Amino acid sequence: MDTPFTATCTCIFCKHAASLSFTAEQGTCIAFPDKYPVTEGHLLIIPKRHAPDYFSLTAEEKKDADALLHRLKDDILQKDPSVTGFNIGINNGYDAGQTVFHCHIHLIPRRKGDCENPRGGVRGVIPGKRGY
């Protein structure tokens, strides 16, 4: 990795940067598997710099994160033909469900039949509001 994480930061992503076993790197950002995946292949994309949420990212970090999303999507589709969709999500703030306060973008592969009724997807952040 060419740019070090924020060395003095105590957040788990900065603290454990060396052991995150990242799968891809793009300039200011890296991607690695989520430790508690929602589905097989669930990845997290984060800036190397400690930034608490999406709204704290620089234009360059957003560009690199977006490029990683596209690269990883292509890679997943090529390796796993069972993947037929994706959820891309960011929890910004405690009240929005964020638990790790180092910005991360969830890339969650979806497969036909992986839940009974996928309609509404990310609307499910408020239980009971996914359907409409």
Closest approach of ligand 5GP to the CB of residue 39, in Å = 11
- Selection from ligand 5GP, Zn ion, none that 9 binds (CB < 5 to 8 A by kind) is Zn ion
Is residue 9 involved in binding Zn ion (CB under 5 A)?
yes
Please say if 102 is a catalytic residue. Answer: no
Is residue 22 involved in binding Zn ion (CB under 5 A)?
no
- Selection from ligand 5GP, Zn ion, none that 32 binds (CB < 5 to 8 A by kind) is ligand 5GP
Select from 45, 131, 30 the least CA-distant residue to 90. Answer: 45
- Selection from ligand 5GP, Zn ion, none that 98 binds (CB < 5 to 8 A by kind) is ligand 5GP
- Long-range (24+ apart) CB contacts under 8 A made by 37-41 are 38/106, 38/108, 39/108, 39/109, 39/110, 39/111, 39/114, 40/80, 40/109, 41/76, 41/80, 41/83, 41/109
